[in-house]
Amino acid sequence: MNFELDQTELAVIDSVEHVAREVIAPRAKHYDETETFCAESLQALAELGCMGVNLPEHYGGLGIGSLAMSRVVEAVAGACASTASALTAHFLATDSILIGGTEAQKQEWLPRAASGELLGAFALTEPAAGSNPADMRCRAQREEGGWRLHGSKHYITNAREAGFIVLYAKTDAEAGHKGISAFVIPQGTAGISFSSPEKTMGLRGSTIYELALDCWLPESALLGTEGQGFNTAMAVLDRGRVEVAAMSLGIANAAMQCSLDWVRERQIGPKPLAAYQGTQWRLAEMYAQLEGARMLTWKAAVRRDSGGRFSLDSATAKLVAAESAGFITDAALQLHGGYGYIRDLPLERYVRDARILRIFEGTSEVQKIIISRGLLEAR
C-alpha cells in the first residue's frame, strides 16, 4: 500500500503544521478554560484553504488525497482538539452535500464552505436516536411548495455558528431507514431554536447544542432525492471515522511528545525518570499503540480514495485509534505524576479531549458491530 504524498500535499501539510504550531496551539488553553468557540483558529485554517481540504478542486477544495487530509487533521488536533472537532464536523456537512446533493446544490454550497465563508453543521443524532439513526423521530412532511420539519436534534457541533445545517429527518415514518431524507437548512431559517452550549468534559472550544425545529423549507432544501438520506449519512460517517482516527493520532502524539520531554528532564533521585525500566516499558507501550493506530488510519485513508467500500477499514481505524488515544493520554498523565493532574500542563486536557473519541461517529461498541459484520459477510 502506497503512503507516498506528492509535493503539493506535502506543502499543504507543512503549512498547516506551521499554523497549528504558531497560531492554533497558543489559543487552545484559552478556548478550553473560557469555553469560547474556536472561531479564530478556524479562520486561520480558512486562510490556508483547509475548510475545503476534503473537497475536489472544482468545488473550491484543495484536491488533495485523504491520506494528506488525515495528516492535516492530525496536525490540527495535536495543537487544539476543539478546533479539529469543529473542522471535522464541517467536513461531515460538506461531505453530505458532496455525496448526496444535486449538482446545483453542490455549486450553491460547497465553494462557499470551502472558502470558509460558511461553516457547516451535521444534524443526525437525537436524544432517543444516537447509535441507530433509523430510530429518529424528527419528521419532514410535504406541504405546498416545500416541507414542514418538526422535532429535535441533540449534540450538534457548530449548530448555532453554522452558515448551514445538513439535517436528517424521516419523510416516511413507516419505511424505517429507507424513509430518511436529508435537508440543507440555511442560517436564520425561522422556526429553529438552539439550547445553550452543552457543558462538556472536553473539546470545550467546539460547542454543541440541542436543536428544536418547527420550520418550513422550500422544495429545493431537500438534499438529492427523497429517501436517500440514510445511505448518504452512512457514507459520510464512513469518511468521518477516518477523520476521528486522525484526530486520535493528533491528541495521542501530542501526549507522547510531552511525555518524552518530561521523562528526560524530570529527576527522580540521582537519575532522570527516563533511566528507569518501568518508564521505558510504558513509553514502548505508548509508542507501539500509536504506530499501530497510525498504520490503520493511513490504510483506511488510502482505501477511502480507492472508490470501493472501506467501512471495515474505517471502523477498524476509528476503534483502534480512539482506544489507543485513551490509553496514551492516560499513560502520559501518569508519567507526569501530580504535575499531570494540574491544569498548568496540557495533560489533563488531552485526557478530557480524547474521551469523546470513543463515543462520537459511532461508539467503540458500534465499531465492533461494523467490523464483525464485515468479517462475517466476507466471501
Question: What is the percent of the chain where pLDDT is above 90?
Answer: 94
How many CB atoms are closer than 10 A to CB 342? Answer: 10
Whether 150 has a pLDDT exceeding 80, the answer reads yes
Question: What is the average per-residue pLDDT within 154-176?
Answer: 96
Contact 43, 99 (CB under 8 A): no
Identify residue 147 by its one-letter amino acid code: W
Between helices 7-19 and 66-79, what is the axis angle to 10°? 10
Q: Which domains does the chain have, with CATH numbers?
A: 7-117 (1.10.540.10), 121-229 (2.40.110.10), 237-377 (1.20.140.10)
Cα–Cα distance, 158 to 87 (Å, whole number): 9
Q: Determine the length of the chain.
A: 379
Contact 166, 122 (CB under 8 A): yes
pLDDT at 350: 98
Whether 130 has a pLDDT exceeding 90, the answer reads no
Whether 254 has a pLDDT exceeding 80, the answer reads yes
pLDDT, tens digit (0-9, with 9 covering 90-100), for 37-86 = 999 999 999 999 999 999 999 999 999 999 999 999 999 999 999 999 99
Cα–Cα distance, 201 to 154 (Å, whole number): 16
pLDDT at 183: 98
Alpha helices of the chain — where are they, by DSSP H?
Answer: 7-19, 25-34, 39-47, 66-79, 81-100, 103-115, 229-265, 277-304, 311-335, 338-341, 347-355, 364-377
- What average pLDDT is seen over the chain? 96
pLDDT at 297: 98
Whether 379 has a pLDDT exceeding 80, the answer reads no
Q: For residue 232, which of 123, 150, 145 has the smallest C-alpha distance?
A: 123
Whether 131 has a pLDDT exceeding 80, the answer reads no
Question: What is the average per-residue pLDDT within 13-17?
Answer: 98
How far, in whole angstroms, is CA 135 from its chain's centroid? 23
pLDDT at 17: 98
Whether 129 has a pLDDT exceeding 80, the answer reads no
Cα–Cα distance, 340 to 351 (Å, whole number): 10
Q: Name, in order, each residue with C-beta under 8 angstroms of 174's C-beta and a sequence gap of 6 or more.
A: none
First to last CA, the chain: 22
pLDDT, tens digit (0-9, with 9 covering 90-100), for 300-327 = 999 999 988 899 999 999 999 999 999 9
Contact 321, 289 (CB under 8 A): no
pLDDT at 258: 98
Catalytic residues: 361
C-alpha radius of gyration, the chain, whole number = 21
Measured torsion, CA atoms of residues 246, 247, 253, 256, in degrees rounded to the nearest 10: -140
Query: 33-66 as b/e, with b when 16 or more CB fall inside 10 Å?
Result: eeeebbeebbebbbebbbbbbbbeeebbbbbbbb
Whether 378 has a pLDDT exceeding 90, the answer reads no
Strands 180-186 and 120-123: what pairing? unpaired
Cα–Cα distance, 160 to 162 (Å, whole number): 6
**Model confidence pTM above 0.75:** yes
Phi, psi of 184 (to 5 degrees): -105, 120
Question: What is the average per-residue pLDDT within 125-138?
Answer: 83
Contact 374, 241 (CB under 8 A): no
Question: What is the average per-residue pLDDT within 352-368?
Answer: 96
Burial class for 96, CB neighbours closer than 10 Å (0-12, 13-18, 19+): buried
Whether 132 has a pLDDT exceeding 80, the answer reads no
Cell of 138: 424528527
Question: What is the average per-residue pLDDT within 213-234?
Answer: 97
Q: Which residue has the cell 528507569?
A: 276
Between helices 347-355 and 229-265, what is the axis angle to 10°? 160
DSSP secondary structure code for residue 125 in this structure = -
Burial class for 270, CB neighbours closer than 10 Å (0-12, 13-18, 19+): exposed
pLDDT at 279: 98
pLDDT at 219: 96
Question: What is the percent of the chain where pLDDT is above 70?
Answer: 99
With residue 206 as reference, give the H or E element that holds it: none
Cα–Cα distance, 225 to 170 (Å, whole number): 13
